[in-house]
Amino acid sequence: MRALLLLLWLVAAGCRKDVMLLPVFEEVRAPVPEDITSVWFTDSLRGFATAGAAWVRGHLLSTQDGGRSWRVDTTVVNRLEHVMFDSFGVGYAVGLHGLALIRWPDESYWRIFRTDYNWHRSGFFWSYRHAVLVSGDGFQGGLVRKLWPEVWYVDTLHTFVNSLYDVWMTDSLTGCAVGLGWVLRTEDGGRSWRRQPPRGDLFCSVHFPSRQVGYICGRNGTLLKTTDGGQSWQTIRQGGSIGQRHQPFRALWFVSEQRGFLVGDGGLFWRTDDGGHSWAPLRGLPANANATNVFALKHTGWITADAGRIYRFEY
């Protein structure tokens, strides 16, 4: 019996993942108490974040010192979900109540350029004349908007049964959008979309570190990978509604085709160095932190979380 117990312990120990320590991991004081929902850096010093509480208020934050301190740039009437900058240095943010904002390179504040009655979950702007917005209310009412030729003009509108949560364009024509049980691909800049085979999870985050290689995570622990620009997807981790396979993923970001970071509820913070085939948990996030987004640039990364929390790490 002792020999059997020893064997079982050795097997279990062999299955455990060692927790990795980072050179630097620190919580940074945020200037607002609401959930911090996304983060984007244009270089190693200049970064931006969105925040807010649904139906109460939203904020856009900025930092000039690599995320060690933050200030409020603009406050709006509803929760903001996503921020990004294009290659021309123009910033965009979207959120609840159809909010969409723009920030020009020579300005220090954000301008609202459109509102409607939908919950924009994410958007990808490759210039101020071209964008794709994805929306959803709870688990239903998915929408994709193609904005062109100006950001306030809807060129094409597509509706879906289930909510959509994230979108990424690898160039001006090709991209993927994800949501509850849906993985979509466009080859014409968002004017038409084709559903891909992956099913069975609430796909909540998609990121392409290169034009050919991309990753998707789901709220129940599924991880998908493509090596052909989203034409086909392989399951590199199968999630589950209960048990060990269930992991509450929220967002992922890859700094290269091989190295990436993954965050989620309950302090979940993982890293891969082999293209997603194996993952190691990282120490730092407290167990009561529900991470919402992660962004990494060179050797520094940032994580946003609920209750006004922002974390900075070096790797």
pLDDT in tens, 153-202: 899 999 999 999 999 999 999 999 999 999 999 999 999 999 999 999 99
Burial class of residue 171, CB neighbours in 10 A (0-12, 13-18, 19+): exposed
Report the distance separating Cα 51 and Cα 80, nearest Å.
6
pLDDT at 11: 35
φ, ψ for residue 14 (rounded to 5)? -70, -25
Size of the chain in residues:
315
Q: Average pLDDT of 137-142? A: 92
Q: Which backbone phi and psi does 11 adopt, to 5 degrees? A: -65, -45
Q: What is the mean pLDDT of residues 117-143?
A: 94
**Band of the pLDDT at 150, cuts 50, 70, 90?**
confident
Domain locations in the chain as residue ranges: 27-314
Which CATH number applies to 27-314?
Answer: 2.130.10.10
Q: Model's pTM, two decimal places?
A: 0.92
- Ranking 91-100, 237-246, 254-263 by mean pLDDT, the lowest is 237-246
- Cβ atoms of 98 and 112 within 8 Å: the answer is no
